[in-house]
Structure 1
Amino acid sequence: METFNFAGLFNMIRRLILNIIDFFHKPFSGIIPKQTFRYLACGGGNTLLDIFLYFICYNFILEKQVVHLPFINIGAHIAAMFMSMAVTFPTGFLLSKYVVFSESNLQGRTQLFRYFMLVGVCVLLNYALMKLFVEHLHLFPTVARICTTAVVVIFSYLTQKKFTFKVKQSI
């Protein structure tokens, strides 16, 4: 009985993603560095997935209703954010580690821990901005999510490049 080769499948998917992104990078190669383009492509795809999942969770799963937990009530706009992140956290890490910042020589567990910390900060930023935009500025939740995402994406890219997936200089 043969076993399935997950590593081979994983590498094949990674190469496919890189080939597609790098193909579309060619016209922009004089303007945008390859790594930045890869981040925009992967982050943009993951962000679109996040917004799509958020919309589905908020409108159809939660039906815009408050989530009542034993010790706290959570607004649908906040609960939907956490629901969408349950999918986009692992996809974002894997894309960042293996597609965008693959030259990082930090250990995988260090990268994962730092990514987890970054996501924690981004969750707090998302939470604060969503509360501000929806509850104080009265924006529609999906519009608020898009605005929040724009701010958080810029912060996230800079942090990932300079901290989470940095390249340690050899001595």
Structure 2
Amino acid sequence: MRKALLKIIDFFYPPFSRWLPLHTFRYIVSGGTTATSGIICYYIAYNWILHQRNIHVDFPFVPKLITAHSAALIISTLVSFLIGFTLNKYLVFTKSNLKGRIQMFRYAAVLGINFGLNLAMLKYMVEGLHFYPSISQAFITVTLSLCSYFLQKHFTFRVKKHP
């Protein structure tokens, strides 16, 4: 499966080979796939699952109201985590010699930071600036993806140098 996916990705690489190393191209494809999946999942959750309605809850230590755009973000983040980690681990950062559980923990930590930033930016754009949630989410995804590349490369999936 891995080899087949890499063949497909690498087939489209030649036109970009002047500007991008193969590793970066694979990350862009992987990230693009993850981001697109997340945006589609967000749209489906917000419009079709939640029907753009807020969720009222009555649990201790949980806000009494979870806005529809926040709930959709939670759903899409869980789906994106699974897709993103799998693609990055097996297609992009294959030379990392860190254990899989360490990679997953670090990936989750980076995702947690991104989730917090995403939630704050989404609330600001939707509730403060009155932008449409799906458009806001797409913009935020692109912005955070740029930061994520460096964190994934140099932290989550780094290659340990042996002395």
The answer to whether TM tops 0.5 is yes
Match of 2:92 in 1: 100
Distance 1:26 1:105 in 2: 28
Match of 2:27 in 1: 39
Once the 2 structures are TM-superposed, how far is the Cα of residue 30 of structure 1 from its aligned partner? 2.0
2:17 matches 1:29: yes
Q: Choose the corresponding residue for 2:55, options 52, 62, 67.
A: 67
Once the 2 structures are TM-superposed, how far is the Cα of residue 151 of structure 1 from its aligned partner? 1.3
Q: What letter is aligned with 2:44?
A: I
Q: What letter is aligned with 1:58?
A: Y
Once the 2 structures are TM-superposed, how far is the Cα of residue 33 of structure 1 from its aligned partner? 0.6
Q: What letter is aligned with 1:50?
A: G
Q: What letter is aligned with 1:109?
A: R
Match of 1:127 in 2: 119
Unaligned runs of 5+ in 1: 1-12
Distance 1:123 1:129 in 2: 10
1:43-92 C-alpha deviation (Å, 9 max, x unpaired): 10111111011111101110000011223211000100111122111110
Once the 2 structures are TM-superposed, how far is the Cα of residue 100 of structure 1 from its aligned partner? 0.7
Q: Give the structure-2-normalised TM-score.
A: 0.95
Q: What letter is aligned with 1:53?
A: C
2:152 matches 1:164: no
Distance 1:18 1:156 in 2: 21
RMSD over aligned Cα atoms: 0.9
Secondary structure in 1 matching 2:82:
helix
Between the two proteins, the alignment pairs up a number of residues equal to 159
Distance 2:79 2:138 in 1: 17
Secondary structure in 2 matching 1:163:
helix
Match of 1:54 in 2: 42
Distance 2:118 2:158 in 1: 24
Q: Choose the corresponding residue for 2:108, options 116, 124, 143.
A: 116
Q: Displaced runs of 4+ in structure 1, greater than 4 A?
A: none
Distance 1:170 1:34 in 2: 24
Unaligned runs of 5+ in 2: none
Match of 1:139 in 2: 131
Distance 2:73 2:102 in 1: 26
